[in-house]
Amino acid sequence: MSAVTANLVKELREKTGAGMMDCKKALTETDGDLEAAVDWLRKKGIASASKKSGRVAAEGKVVVAAAGNHGLLLEVNSETDFAAKNERFMAFATTAVQVGLDARIDSVDLLAGLPYPGTGRSVAEELTALIAGIGENMNLRRVARVDVAQGAVVGYLHMGGKIGTLVSLESAASDLDGLRELGKKVAMHVAASTPFYLNRDQVPESDLERERSVLADQARASGKPESIIDKMVQGRLSKFYADTCLVEQPFVMDPDQSVQAVVDAAAKTLGAPIRVAGFARFLMGEGLQKRDDDFAAEVAKQIGQ
Q: What is the mean pLDDT of the chain?
A: 88
Q: What pLDDT is recorded for position 303?
A: 40
Q: Is it true that domain 6-52 has CATH number 1.10.287.70?
A: no
What φ, ψ does residue 64 adopt, rounded to 5°? -140, 145
Helix (H) or strand (E) holding 90, with range, is: helix 87-103
Q: Are 63 and 161 in contact (CB under 8 A)?
A: yes
CA 219, CA 162: separation in Å to the nearest integer?
39
Range of weakest confidence among 163-167, 193-197, 297-301: 297-301
Task: Select the more confidently predicted residue: 241 or 3.
Answer: 241
Considering the chain, tell me which residue range(s) the CATH 3.30.479.20 domain(s) occupy. 59-147
Q: What pLDDT is recorded for position 299?
A: 44
What is the architecture of the domain spanning 200-278?
A: Orthogonal Bundle (1.10)
Other beta carbons within 10 Å of 114: 16
DSSP characters over 228-257: HHHHHHHHHHHHHHHHHBGGGSEETTEEEE
- With 0.85 as the threshold, say if the pTM is over it: no
Q: Is it true that domain 59-147 has CATH number 3.30.70.1340?
A: no
CA 106, CA 111: separation in Å to the nearest integer?
8
